């Protein structure tokens, strides 16, 4: 009788261990996109088709009395005041001729992009 209780307890403990381990792996598969037999969608299914109609509609419907920035559709007084489209990852650098460019942020310093533009203008980069 005691042998059956020990065997039953051992089997129950093993079953709980296996079930917990399986649940843990399912969690990590879902967390990190593991296949695990689940259907994964093709990333191309979510791509936006090459169609500029959305942009054209918004550009045509924009209300601006001064200058409408073609990239961001912001309304500003002069073209070099146009904001960057992605300010979290781009720095704006104003050129001396009244124009501006947006450059990917580089390094950890606030003026790193401007320094790289100046080096490129001098042919050093």
Q: How many domains is the chain built from?
A: 1
Rounded to the nearest integer, the mean pLDDT of the chain is: 74
More confident residue, 1 or 93: 93
105, 112 in Cβ contact below 8 A? yes
103, 93 in Cβ contact below 8 A? yes
Question: Distance between CA 1 and CA 72 in Å, rounded?
Answer: 79
Q: 75 lies in which domain range?
A: 55-121
Residue 7 lies in a domain: no
18, 25 in Cβ contact below 8 A? no
38, 26 in Cβ contact below 8 A? no
pLDDT digits (tens, 9 = 90+) for 8-21: 555 445 444 444 44
**Which two tokens mark 52?**
């500029």
Using the predicted structure, report yes or no on whether residue 34 has a pLDDT greater than 70: no
- Per DSSP, the three-state class of 116 is helix
């Amino acid at each position: 009788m005691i042998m059956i209780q020990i065997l039953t307890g051992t089997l129950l403990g093993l079953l709980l261990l296996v079930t917990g381990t399986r649940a843990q792996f399912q969690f990590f598969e879902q967390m990190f996109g593991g296949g695990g037999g689940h259907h994964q969608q093709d990333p191309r299914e979510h791509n936006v088709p090459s169609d500029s109609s959305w942009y054209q509609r918004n550009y045509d419907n924009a209300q601006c009395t001064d200058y409408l920035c073609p990239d961001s559709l912001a309304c500003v007084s002069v073209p070099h005041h146009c904001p960057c489209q992605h300010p979290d990852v781009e720095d704006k650098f104003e050129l001396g001729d009244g124009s501006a460019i947006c450059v990917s942020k580089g390094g950890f310093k606030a003026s790193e992009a401007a320094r790289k533009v100046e080096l490129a203008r001098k042919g050093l980069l």
